[in-house]
Amino acid sequence: MRSFTTSSSTATSISTDCPIPVLDIAAFLNDAPGALLSLGAELRAALEHVGFYYLSGHDVPQSLIDQVFAACARFHAQPLTSKMALRANAHNVGYMPVNGYVSRSSRVETATRPNLVEAFFVKRDLPPDHPDVLANIPYRCTNQWPDLQALPGFRDTVVAYCNTMERLCKRLLPVYAVALDLDPGYFDTAFTEPQYALRLSHYPPAEEGEDDQYGVAPHTDSSFLTMLAPSELPGLSIRMPSGDWIDAPIVPGAFLVNSGDMLRRWTNHRFLSTPHRVINRNANRHRYAIPFFFDATYNYPMTCLPTCHGPDNPPRYAPTTYLDYMRWFTRQYDHVRDQDHHAPGDPGVPDTQA
């Protein structure tokens, strides 16, 4: 792992060869005077020029992060028959086996091979009698949980982590608003009940094969933002705006955060959605990852933000919602494409080209 430099600035660079900044949010979370404005400026620079940053100084307990990684490993250690009993559905909730999808939604690379990863997807844990569940609204569903006796404590740990991550993301919304020259409370209405998804991923040991074989092929996320907890093993690479690929260092205790296509679209390309990929090059070792994808309320109309367009920079996209965008995006997954026959065309195509 690369060495780290220290600085009196909140945004700290990770040595000279890694341009991903570290944003320390401790002062902001403690309501220090001026912390919101300075952190907003640092976030703006990170998302306009890199699309990724490390988040330190948060209050998510390391013990909880460790418990989720352990739960992820326990789940994937089960027999395949037990996991396949929870096969992911049209809501993209449940288990996806190795080689379960090709990255068809990628605007980065035309993938031809399935990804060498298995995953278990969880969304907000809605009860069976919730009105949205009864109405079968896409992505507003119950989760599929493993048997309590088979994995005791699994559900409680996962739900506790999702609740904790949702609180952290919502606390960061004023920073995103200030970074976009908006009022700190601008995003409150858009995130009254955010959509989110936790993906418990397992990259099995695999020898390096062909050039187009990946754990996850080059892609951009669909989300407003994604938070990746620090894993034990490296494997994530990021394609910088220069076109160069860099391996993302593991920063102990810090989340690696990136903006996704929904934020890129909402900001009229002001903020980046930076491509990244995963390859497990750790010989004979299993790699686990627990990315948390955070988005606006499912039916909130995302219209180009007022500070992101003007006479010489018209909106590139028509308004969309999480529901409409994700019904297109998740059709890269075989289990979704086979069950949902009414998804719209690509809403990621700009009305006017950049």
Q: What is the CATH number of the domain that holds 103?
A: 2.60.120.330
pLDDT at res. 347: 60
352 domain residue, yes or no: no
6 domain residue, yes or no: no
pLDDT category, 349, cuts 50, 70, 90? low
pLDDT at res. 105: 53
Adjacent-strand bridge partners of 310: 313
- Residues with Cβ within 8 Å of 223's Cβ and at least 6 positions away in sequence, in order, are 260, 261, 262, 263, 293, 294, 295
12 domain residue, yes or no: no
Length of the chain (residues): 354
Looking at the structure of the chain, the number of domains it has is 1
Instruction: Summarize pLDDT for 168-214 with one digit per residue, the tens.
Output: 999 999 999 999 999 999 999 999 999 999 999 999 987 555 555 68
pLDDT at res. 298: 97
Instruction: Summarize pLDDT for 257-286 with one digit per residue, the tens.
Output: 999 999 999 999 999 999 999 989 888 899
8 domain residue, yes or no: no
Adjacent-strand bridge partners of 28: none
3 domain residue, yes or no: no
pLDDT at res. 351: 47
The number of beta carbons lying within 10 Å of the beta carbon of residue 33 is: 7
Whether the pLDDT of residue 90 is over 60: the answer is yes
- Strands (DSSP E) contained in the chain are 11-14, 18-24, 52-56, 94-96, 118-123, 195-203, 216-219, 225-228, 236-239, 245-247, 255-259, 276-278, 287-289, 292-295
Taking residues 326-354, report their average pLDDT.
Answer: 59
pLDDT at res. 152: 97
347 domain residue, yes or no: no
Taking residues 104-130, report their average pLDDT.
Answer: 81
Whether the pLDDT of residue 337 is over 60: the answer is no
Radius of gyration of the chain (CA): 20
pLDDT category, 6, cuts 50, 70, 90? very low
Closest Cα to residue 44, out of 305, 238, 242, 349?
305
Measured between alpha carbons, how far is 91 from 121 in angstroms, rounded to an integer? 10
162 domain residue, yes or no: yes
Range of the structural domain that residue 198 is part of: 18-337
Taking residues 18-37, report their average pLDDT.
Answer: 96
Percent of the chain beyond pLDDT 90? 75
Instruction: Summarize pLDDT for 36-80 with one digit per residue, the tens.
Output: 999 999 999 999 999 999 999 999 999 999 999 999 999 999 999
Measured between alpha carbons, how far is 12 from 24 in angstroms, rounded to an integer? 8
Whether the pLDDT of residue 334 is over 80: the answer is no
C-alpha pair distances (Å), 253 with each of 63, 173, 180, 268, 270: 11, 21, 27, 32, 29
Whether the pLDDT of residue 15 is over 80: the answer is no
pLDDT at res. 103: 56
Instruction: Identify the weakest region by mean pLDDT among 16-25, 113-122, 201-210, 283-292.
Output: 201-210
Q: Are the CB atoms for 151 and 159 separated by under 8 Å?
A: no
243 domain residue, yes or no: yes
Whether the pLDDT of residue 22 is over 90: the answer is yes
pLDDT at res. 174: 98
pLDDT at res. 1: 25
